[in-house]
Amino acid sequence: MENIIKYHIKNVKKGDHAAFEEIVSFYQNKVYHIVYRMVGDSHEAQDIAQEAFIRAYTNIHSFDENRKFSTWLYRIATNLSIDRLRKKKPDFHLDAEVKGTEGLDMYSQLAADQALPEEEVESMELQSYIHKEILSLPPKYRGVIVLRFLDDLSLAEIGEILDLPLGTVKTRIHRGRELLRKKLRHV
């Protein structure tokens, strides 16, 4: 897969629009996932995820083809998310609860005519509860926790994405895990 991506990137650098479309459609879910977990709001997440791809496109010449594209792309996405969180920081913790309960957005992403089985609804509720608890973490723990469970990223890669030393990544994972343990132990 990595080779196909590399091939597409070469073509994007040559000015091939269609090759970039392939890249977007391959990574859209992962990028959206990271951003949504980071900012919590689906409209905002869509906005930021789109911005991340646009930035990747306009800066494609600064991407070093010897490195992993996903790392570079996720880094753009997490940086944009963190910037957004910083900008709205004053009121963020106050309405984190409200934002976190936007489980409805996940329903709205399913096809409307598809009836939901009972257990799926239940699991949706659990998922939105977990989503809410991840969002209640301070952003510095949230980032490592979100990335850790996505796409089999190694701790070293997480460090590269967030521009943190490996030791710091580990400390934050331990700390974030402890914080979540307290919140999730009664589930």
Partner 1 sequence: MNCEESLALMHLYLDGDASEEEAQQLREHLKTCPDCNQHYRELKQTESLLSGAAYELSAPAGFTASVMANLPKEKKRVGYMRWFRAHPIITAAAVFFLFMFTSVLSAWNSDSSVSVSKQEGLIVENDLVIVPEGVTVKGDLVVENGDLDIRGQVDGDVTIINGDLVEDPGAKVNMASVDNISGEYQEIDRIFGWAWYHLKELVTF
Residues found near partner 1 in the complex (CB under 8 A): 13-15, 17, 20-21, 24-25, 28-33, 36-37, 42, 46, 49-50, 53-54, 57-58, 61, 106, 109, 126-127, 130-131, 134, 145, 148-150, 155, 170, 173-174, 177-178, 180-181, 184-185, 187
CA-CA distance, 107 to 81, in Å (whole number)?
23
Q: How many CB atoms neighbour CB 146 within 10 A? A: 23
Q: Name the minimum Å distance from CB 15 to partner 1.
A: 6
Tokens of 10: 């070469």
Q: Name the minimum Å distance from CB 140 to partner 1.
A: 17
Q: Name the minimum Å distance from CB 19 to partner 1.
A: 11
Contact 68, 157 (CB under 8 A): yes
Q: Which is nearer to partner 1, 64 or 91 (CB)?
A: 64
CA-CA distance, 181 to 174, in Å (whole number)?
10
Q: Which is nearer to partner 1, 8 or 131 (CB)?
A: 131
For tokens 């496109």, name the residue: 57
Q: Which is nearer to partner 1, 86 or 108 (CB)?
A: 108
Q: How many CB atoms neighbour CB 117 within 10 A? A: 9
Q: Which is nearer to partner 1, 59 or 89 (CB)?
A: 59
Q: Name the minimum Å distance from CB 10 to partner 1.
A: 11
Q: Which is nearer to partner 1, 51 or 82 (CB)?
A: 51
153: left (phi over 0), alpha (psi -120 to 50) or beta: beta
How far does Cα 168 stand from its chain's mean position? 20
End-to-end CA separation in angstroms for the chain? 38
Q: Name the minimum Å distance from CB 174 to partner 1.
A: 4
